[in-house]
Amino acid sequence: MVKRKSKAIFLKKCRPFIKGTAAGIITAVVFVALSALIFTAADAPEGAELILGYITLAVSSGVCGMFYGGGKGKNGFAWGTLGGAVIFVLCFIISVISGNFDGSAFASKFVTCLVSGCIGGITGVNLIDKR
């Protein structure tokens, strides 16, 4: 007789990834909304949208990496980098679908996501270790 693995075990192992991806997306949406409020309330200088875009990308990748690394409790460098890569892939897919992809800042956005995700993963592991 073949033993079947429970779906609960699979969901328990995937929980940090689901939470991290959701937290990264929610963070990005909140930062985009705050950026829109800044642009409507104040006359923002030329190039401010690029800076706020990179800040949004970095913070959402960091939050995602923090959940990935903290959820696993070890190897935060690798899990955080994976979290940053997931956020980058999601942003890349959305930009290609919407037709806004021109490829000019592909490498810089990729590096920004990976580095901030890595920092978030290391922070997540260190926060879990303190408990």
Q: Which of 4-8, 13-17, 46-50, 90-94 has the highest mean pLDDT?
A: 90-94
Range name among 30-34, 64-68, 84-88, 124-128 with the lowest pLDDT average: 124-128
Q: Which CB contacts under 8 angstroms, 24+ apart, belong to 89-96?
A: 90/21, 90/24, 90/25, 91/28, 91/57
Average the pLDDT over 92-106 and give the result.
Answer: 85
Q: Which of 121, 113, 108 is nearest to 88 (CA)?
A: 113
For the chain, the domains span: 11-130
Residue 62 has pLDDT above 80, yes or no: yes
Average the pLDDT over 6-20 and give the result.
Answer: 80
